[in-house]
Amino acid sequence: MIMATADAPVREGERLDYLDVLRGFAVLAIFAVNIKAMAAPFAYYLNATLWPGEYDLLVAEVQAFLIDNKWRTNFTALFGAGLVLISMKADAAGAKGTGRILLRNSWLLLFGVAHLLLIWSGDILTVYALTGFIAIWFRNLSGRTLGWCTLGIMTAALAWTSLFGVGPAFVPELGAEVSAIMWGSDPAVLDAETAAYLGGVGGHIQSRLQSAFDYLVMYGLVGGQFLLTLSIMLAGMWLFKIGFYRGAWSGGNYLLLAIIGLALAWGLEALHANAMATSGWSFEAFSLYTPVATIAGLVGAFGYAALVGFMLKIGLKLRPVAATGRMAFSNYIACSLIGTTIFYGHAGGLYGQVTNLQLMGIVAAVWLAILIWSPIWLKYFYFGPLEWLWRSLTYWQVQPFRRKDRPAPATESPEPA
């Protein structure tokens, strides 16, 4: 067991490979879908028929099968697992875990608001911070109790989000209003959003403020996404406590769960894809099958997490991916900076001019750069730049940054730091 001797950030030799690798895959995969909302109006993110390229619909289907909702779910669950990990370390050192996490979340909220207003409206950090203020009060529950809480809250969240999702299909007035924003049914909305992001920085901020309201209030609170996010964070806590998120299960169990989870997810995705194709990609079909896509994301996330566990059990080190995960905060923000610089009017100005297939070329280049630069950076520094800043603020003490020696390999122990 790795013993914590002081209330301080997790040291290099105390890290868990499983969490780093899973987080690394998540941050890479998330960029592959987030870039769609950086390169074009938000409706393009949901309605694949808006993309002009010959192969764009096929690319969107592949994204749905492999990525949509699945890796973001893992990213969210890992945040919940991190709350338990930090709390355990603080408590073991005689510090107050609750106070430490509240301070950590407060700083994350400030980072998230800055990211949302100054860089990109699709920020997830703000949601994590706000939801984390609630999630922390569940962290000391036993694994069994936490599992039941997760099941209950997730069931309620799925019911809530499903009702919100299918509502527009049964209320024509609501459907017309929502489809104009989410489905691109009103060209004027698409033109206004395009003009805003091809304009100056002032227009970007104004547009992001409106997007933030739509997402946080309408989608998050009214639409039940905050409750779903909370349930996923609790699931991450539960998976950590039962050893799944610590790489403590056998390779055979991980493989079996990977097969079951991904088979179910891809089966549901096939059902969803068939419904969309049969309807001619109507907004009504999208609304009706929202619950199917949501459940596919949840079980697919579990399947991918199990697959990562299996890969590590058979000896795959995946060090570049682990390094990417150790710098997930910095890499997440870097992806936003790269995407908005390429597409927004203050720089590249390619907003609305790139096909979905071409976006995947940009994604591949960014992935390669991240997988190269992350290990190199960590040869010279203990943390990513934003990780270092966040830790220093959380512990009210400047953390060591530049290293003199090469890093020690991360432990493969299933015990928490």
CA–CA separation, 86 and 89 (whole Å): 5
Helix (H) or strand (E) segment spanning residue 37: helix 17-39
**Would the pLDDT of 2 be above 60?**
no
If DSSP codes are grouped into helix, strand and coil, which group holds residue 248? Answer: coil
Q: Are 164 and 222 in contact (CB under 8 A)?
A: yes
Which one has a higher pLDDT value, 167 or 298? 298
If DSSP codes are grouped into helix, strand and coil, which group holds residue 195? Answer: helix
CA–CA separation, 175 and 387 (whole Å): 42
Both structure tokens of 309: 């566990």
State the CB neighbour count (10 A cutoff) for residue 73.
25
Please provide the DSSP assignment of 128-175 as one string: HHHHHHHHGGGTTS-HHHHHHHHHHHHHHHHHHHHHHHHHHHH-HHHH
Instruction: Give per-residue pLDDT as tens, 333-358.
Output: 999 999 999 999 888 999 999 999 99
Q: Are 290 and 272 in contact (CB under 8 A)?
A: no
The closest of 340, 388, 337, 335 to 365, measured between CA atoms, is 335
Which one has a higher pLDDT value, 9 or 316? 316
What are the sequence ranges of the domains in the chain? 12-395
State the CB neighbour count (10 A cutoff) for residue 255.
17
Distances (CA, A) of 194 to 40, 189, 334: 7, 9, 23
**Per-residue pLDDT band at 179 (split at 50, 70, 90):** confident
Instruction: Give per-residue pLDDT as tens, 34-43.
Output: 999 999 999 9
pTM: 0.89
Q: Are 252 and 265 in contact (CB under 8 A)?
A: no
Instruction: Give per-residue pLDDT as tens, 199-252.
Output: 877 666 777 777 777 766 666 666 678 899 999 999 999 999 999 998 899 999
CA–CA separation, 341 and 26 (whole Å): 22
What is the CA angle 159-162-163, rounded to 5? 85
| Mean pLDDT, residues 37-58 | 93
Which one has a higher pLDDT value, 406 or 207? 207
Instruction: Give per-residue pLDDT as tens, 62-83.
Output: 999 999 999 999 999 999 999 9
Helix (H) or strand (E) segment spanning residue 41: none
Say which range, 73-77, 286-290, 292-296, 357-361, has the weakest mean pLDDT.
286-290
Both structure tokens of 135: 């999630």
pLDDT given for residue 94 in this prediction: 60
